[in-house]
A = this chain, B = another copy of it.
Amino acid sequence: MKNQVRICMVGAGRVGKNHSRAISRHIPAGKIVALVDPAEAIRQETALEFNIEKQFTTLEQALESCEFEAVVITTPTPTHLPLASLAAANKKHVFLEKPMALNLDECDAIISSAEKYRVLLQIGFMRRFDPEFVEAAQRIEAGEIGQPMMIKSNTHGPGLPPPWARDLRTSNGMLAEVNSHDWDTVRWLMGSDLERVYTEVANFKGPSNNVDTPNFYDNVLVNIKFQSGGLGLISGVCPCGYGYDARTEIIGEKGIMQIGTLEGQAVVVCTDRDHGLVRPIVRTWPQRFAWAYIYELEHFIQCVQTETPPRAGGLDGRWAVAGVLAGTKSFLEQRPVYLKEITG
């Protein structure tokens, strides 16, 4: 058996817990040896739950006093560049959550850093490892539905994002924090880069949630033209209240393919014929993508063991950020925006 990969988990919040669970319970090839988070309470809680031996308030401290081969970075987007660069400079392989960074300069700096220090870089696009999306991608690639003509991908989530994640000044808002996966999914499944985008947004629940951030929106529709000539749609609603809704539909010259469903557990009940059949909905992203998270981290760890470049790398992360920036510019300027305006 290959050597167990030692990992420093950076960030002890929701995603940090999710990834710690995946590694500590389902990936024997990896071991979390250190947990970094400045917030003591959540750090101790997470360390206890997943039996992580060492805790630090900064990555620097962890690097000084602990040995590991890789970091998994799950902190807010503005911290991605400094953390990823620091890890790379210390020869640690990097698994970096989406969105990769706030802008293309940061993306480029992360990519350069990984190349310079010859460390692996994987972005947290777990859909690329979800069994359903993988199956779909393989069948599209094999030509089953013919040349892709149109794709629709939505991510609607139940809860209001934290303040930094819904403010265009500190993140790129919902298009980045909620819809990052869609930007990657549509490019991946269409087999084409994006040409231009047009975005409409709406703010329905901001007032009742006491959100007065400038340009806040909780509904978004992005119309996409691909370089291949194909069309695309990204839809975001957050908070949507009704569940976690991530579905993709793609129409090719030969037919249609639908990926994902709202339907959760197959336990269907009817006790009132005027009310109807009731079936659980998919409630959360950890529920919907449980295996995808395990598989993406398992892939990263295997890549570290075998020194193989991972799927879902820096360029994929960069393209998603470019989409976010073009999509945001579009609704701010109320016009279609070409990706080349962003990528130069």
Contact = CB atoms under 8 A, between A and B. Distances in A.
A245 B256 contact: yes
A58 interface: no
Contact of A135 (B220, B267, B270): B267
A219 B265 contact: no
A169 interface: no
A278 B264 CA distance: 12
A273 B231 contact: no
Copies of this chain held together in the complex: 4
B221 A273 contact: no
Contacts of A260: 266
Given A147-B204, A198-B223, A276-B279, A255 B271 contact: yes
Interface string A146-182: 1101101000101000000000000000000000000
Given A219-B149, A242-B255, A334-B336, A273 B266 contact: no
Interface in A218-238: 219-225, 229-233, 235, 237
A13 to B, nearest CB: 21
B204 A235 contact: no
Interface stretch (A23-31, A98-106, A121-129): A23-31
A144 interface: yes
Given A242-B255, A242-B272, A235 B237 contact: no
A259 interface: yes
A254 B243 CA distance: 11
Given A242-B270, A251-B237, A269-B256, A231 B1 contact: no
